[in-house]
Amino acid sequence: MAAADAVVVGPAGSERDRLVEALGGAGLSVRVLTEAEALGQRQLALPRLVVLARGGPRAEREATQVRLLSHPALHGAPLLVVAPETDVDSYGGALARGAAAYVSADTGPAEVRDLALRLVRAGDRRWDSGTRPVSVDRRGRRRPLLLKVEVEDRARNTRLAGHIVDVGFSGCRLELADPLPKGTPVGLQLLAYRETTGIMLAGSVRWTRPGDGGTHLVAVRFNGTSAIMARRLFGLGG
């Protein structure tokens, strides 16, 4: 069977159906599986996106996402978690256990479509000539992420809204509407789904390149303390 763009994992019901409709509206082909079906398939072609739609206790949901991310057939695909809670702990717990993004189950279809396409594009950038996932740079493993962030340009005392699109041991890459010059000192205020996390990471701009749709891809190197904090926040081993 040909690989679907997105695999939606979760129990049958209106929530799963709503996500399938939203993803289809984004132009993505979708395959629907229960957790048992997903984990039981060893020949499943790697999708561009995995969506976990699961309510219930947070600890059980987080255990499910770890099992999915560890599955050989799904390892390497960005994971979007959709769940009822909007608190910072649920959001942070999902990201720390490998999710690329987390949204509430009451998120509207337009936002789901936008988020899914952003994750797919970010995941596609990690493939080298379509043959292998680009998971290692010179300073360590990178992982896909889509995290809302407020960027403080400390040279010009201005603020920009954007997203962290991936993170590694030494830094992260941002998607911003405006470029930032190389060497600019920045502070990154991490935002949860509906509120701030209260966490600020600091670093400096390494480079800026053209991104998708008129955006700019900005690489930031963390300072020493923020690099250690980021490893803990985003579950980066090593």
Instruction: Identify the pLDDT of residue 222.
Output: 96
Instruction: Identify the pLDDT of residue 191.
Output: 85
Instruction: Identify the pLDDT of residue 193.
Output: 64
| Helix axis angle, 224-233 to 88-96, nearest 10° | 90
Residues 179, 223: one domain? yes
Domain boundary residue, one of 128, 157, 179: 128
Residues 211, 117: one domain? no
Q: How many domains does the chain have?
A: 2
Instruction: Identify the pLDDT of residue 129.
Output: 37
Instruction: Identify the pLDDT of residue 131.
Output: 41
Q: Which CATH number belongs to the domain containing residue 102 in this structure?
A: 3.40.50.2300
Q: Are 39 and 154 in contact (CB under 8 A)?
A: no
Instruction: Identify the pLDDT of residue 126.
Output: 62
Phi, psi (degrees; rounded to nearest 5) at 2: -65, 150
* Strand 140-153 relative to strand 49-53, pairing: unpaired
Residues 143, 124: one domain? no
**Would you tell me how many other CB atoms lie within 10 Å of the CB of residue 206?**
15
Q: Is residue 32 part of a domain?
A: yes
For residue 228, CA distances in Å to 93, 138, 171, 224, 233 come to: 17, 17, 10, 7, 9
Instruction: Identify the pLDDT of residue 213.
Output: 82
Tens-binned pLDDT, residue by residue, of the chain (238 aa): 568 999 999 999 999 999 999 999 999 999 999 999 999 987 788 899 999 998 889 999 999 999 999 998 888 889 999 998 878 888 888 988 889 999 888 889 998 999 999 888 877 766 543 444 444 343 446 777 888 899 999 999 999 999 998 898 899 999 999 999 999 999 999 887 667 778 899 999 999 999 878 899 999 999 989 999 888 888 776 5
Instruction: Identify the pLDDT of residue 130.
Output: 47
Residues 20, 63: one domain? yes
Residues 14, 84: one domain? yes
Domain boundary residue, one of 128, 157, 180: 128
Q: Is residue 238 part of a domain?
A: no
Residues 97, 202: one domain? no
Instruction: Identify the pLDDT of residue 143.
Output: 78
- Which range marks the domain in which residue 224 is found? 139-233
Residue 183: exposure state from Cβ atoms within 10 A (0-12, 13-18, ≥19)? exposed
* Strand 6-9 relative to strand 49-53, pairing: parallel
Q: Which CATH number belongs to the domain containing residue 170 in this structure?
A: 2.40.10.220
Tell if the pTM clears 0.85, that is, is over it.
no
Instruction: Identify the pLDDT of residue 127.
Output: 58
Instruction: Identify the pLDDT of residue 144.
Output: 78
